[in-house]
Structure 1
Amino acid sequence: MDEELANLSLLYEEDEVFHGETVVNDRNFQFCLVGRYLTDSVVHFPSLRNTMADLWHPIGGICITDLGNKRYLFQFFNEVDIQKVISGTPWFFNSHLLLLQRIQPGENPSVLVLNSTEFWVQVHELPVEMM
């Protein structure tokens, strides 16, 4: 058994979570979200990219692209990762709310209207007539 363990080698190397130079296919947005931060201040893109990749830690990796005009394209590589991000909303970066929307076939991510998100609010001691 010691000889078997001595000759053991791992051929599979773990991929990085963030694929920085991956080219986004313009025609296939199957696993893509477009997002924008609700802020007037400048968003430091490299920090955003690293923080969100570390926070979401997708199984298949992620490619985050700056689309300009404070819009970002988040490309995932499987349905599990994208559903995990969608179900975990709302997301924040540097205390700024991230609005996310899934891209439907034929939609242009640069012109999607991103001005709403869903929140669950818990209210205590609400009068019965207000329920």
Structure 2
Amino acid sequence: MEEELANLNLINEEEDAFHEEATVVDQNYQFSLVGRCLTNSVVYFPSLRNTMADLWHPIGGICILDLREKRFLCPFFHDVDVQGVLSGTLWFFNNHLLILHKIQMGEEPLLVSLYLSEFWVQIHDLALGLMTETMAKQFGDFLGQFLEYDTSF
């Protein structure tokens, strides 16, 4: 039987039947997030997918896709779901930080740089005279890039 399979081949007419005309697929990432798990460890994708879907509970449901290299794509059906995930909290999976990015028009999910994350930093035991927005900007720029100062305190 192995010899029969080894001699099996397609003639040119049969081979042409398997070639499709090249078409450009327009991917719509309007309400999509691309993310990655910040770890050197192996990430078990089915577990990640189930955990994030349970935590986020989007209105129209979710289908998280594995893009390999610890990257995943989350297409949502509503912008309110995307904003809810992004404005939520820092997201972790198995104690590893998830870095998420909303895909903009023309961005390719596999080429998006996923190595930065925003953090709130709280400074303790600062003298009252130094609790100013200018000082907060200096601390923020020292640690990375200053984004926002909470004046409610």
TM-score, length-scaled by structure 2 = 0.66
Aligned partner of residue 80 in structure 1, secondary structure: helix
- Quick check: 1:48 aligned with 2:48? yes
The CA deviation at 1:89 is 3.3
* Higher RCO by CA contacts (8 Å cutoff, separation 6 or greater): 1
Superposed CA deviations along residues 90-112 of structure 1, whole A, max 9, x for unmatched, are 11011000000010111100011
Structure 2 Cα separation of the partners of residues 82 and 60 of structure 1: 11
Name which one, 1 or 2, has greater alpha-carbon Rg: 2
Q: Which stretches of structure 1, 4 residues or longer, exceed 3 Å deviation after superposition?
A: 127-131
Aligned partner of residue 63 in structure 1, secondary structure: coil
Structure 1 Cα separation of the partners of residues 82 and 117 of structure 2: 16
User: 2:6 corresponds to which residue?
Assistant: none
Aligned partner of residue 115 in structure 2, secondary structure: coil
Superposed CA deviations along residues 54-108 of structure 1, whole A, max 9, x for unmatched, are 0011111111001011110011110111110010131101100000001011110
Superposed CA deviations along residues 13-67 of structure 1, whole A, max 9, x for unmatched, are xxxxxxxxxxxx8510001000011100011111100000000111111110010
Identity %: 65
- Quick check: 1:32 aligned with 2:60? no
Q: Which amino acid aligns with 2:30?
A: Q
Identify the structure with the greater strand proportion. 1
Identify the structure with the greater helix proportion. 2
Structure 2 Cα separation of the partners of residues 26 and 72 of structure 1: 19
Unmatched tracts of structure 1, length 5 or more:
1-24
TM-score, length-scaled by structure 1 = 0.76
The CA deviation at 1:122 is 1.5
Alpha-carbon spacing, 1:61–1:90, altered in 2? closer, same or farther (3 Å) = same
Q: How many residues align?
A: 107
RMSD over equivalenced CA pairs, Å: 1.6
- Quick check: 1:102 aligned with 2:106? no
Q: Which amino acid aligns with 1:62?
A: I
User: 1:80 corresponds to which residue?
Assistant: 80
